[in-house]
Amino acid sequence: MTTRTQLKAESLQRILDASASRLRQEGLSGAAIANVMRDAGLTHGAFYAHFASKGELAMAALRHALLGNRRRWIGELKHDSWMQRLQRLARRYLTKAHRDKPAEGCALAAVATEAARSDAAFRQAYEDELRKSLHAICCGSKAEAIPTDEHLDDAIAFMALSIGGISLARAVSDDAFSERILQACIAAAGRIASEPPHPDDH
């Protein structure tokens, strides 16, 4: 029984990889079933052996895209201050490499404006993934940790700044201007961290 189910699992993996790439590179409307299946080396008819509808695929692609990327981008907590952490994350996120390789980049940034016009199920999936990323920014991979309200607010603003920054850098035509957008957002990221309520706040 290994051959059959294993073959299907491999096909599913190729479909997920292809749809996650398409989703990030061409957005929700670009992740069309025919394109994705062709990328996966299959024909469009085979799609419905794996997903019930295009909406299901879109949600799976979003989750799949963020599964690998989150650890890669946000990674572990280091022993630096909260402000330094945000600045370090910004330097890692707001790069020309990230800007120019959307297919491997952040899916939350890729579909930010399209998600707003999607159905409730997709928006819920988007929210879930965003919350996971916010938690990882605050707490690294410590899943059971609970961030402070201040840190969570900072992380929210940091994500808005980063997603907005990478989107603007991609939307703009002039290369020097695009680079300036990235730099300006990196510089601002370090200033986002709230003043600690007490000077002895670690």
Partner DNA sequence: CATTTCAGATGACGCTTATCATGTGAAATA
Partner DNA sequence: TATTTCACATGATAAGCGTCATCTGAAATG
Binding-site ranges for DNA (CB under 7 A): 1-4, 7-8, 11, 31-35, 37, 42-50, 53-55
What residues between 45 and 104 interact with its own copies by CB under 8 A? 102
Would you state the structure tokens that stand for residue 15, as one six-digit string?
């479909």
> CB 5 → its own copies: shortest distance, Å?
34
The correct pick among 117, 176, 198, 200 for binding its own copies (CB under 8 A) is: 117
- Residue 61 or 110: the one with the smaller Cβ distance to its own copies is 110
Rounded least distance, CB 117 to DNA, Å: 13
Instruction: Write out the two tokens for 163.
Output: 């997603």
Does residue number 33 form part of the binding site for its own copies (CB under 8 A)?
no
Give the contacts of 82 (CB within 8 A, at least 6 positions apart): 151, 154, 193
Query: Do the beta carbons of residue 118 and residue 52 sit within 8 Å?
Result: no
Q: Which of 41/68 has CB closer to DNA? A: 41
Please report whether residue 30 would count as binding its own copies according to CB under 8 A: yes
Tell me how far apart the alpha carbons of residues 90 and 190 are, in angstroms, rounded to a whole number: 8
Q: What does each C-alpha distance from 140 to 6, 54, 91 come to in angstroms?
A: 33, 33, 17
Distance CA 117, CA 15 (A): 24
Residue 2 interaction partner, one of DNA, its own copies, none, beta carbon < 5-8 Å per kind: DNA
Q: Cα separation of 169 and 99, whole Å?
A: 7
Select the residue interacting with its own copies from 123, 142, 145, 196 (CB under 8 A): 123
Which CB sits closer to DNA, 61 or 193?
Answer: 61
Q: Is 172 in the site for its own copies (CB under 8 A)?
A: yes
CB 27 within 8 A of CB 113: no
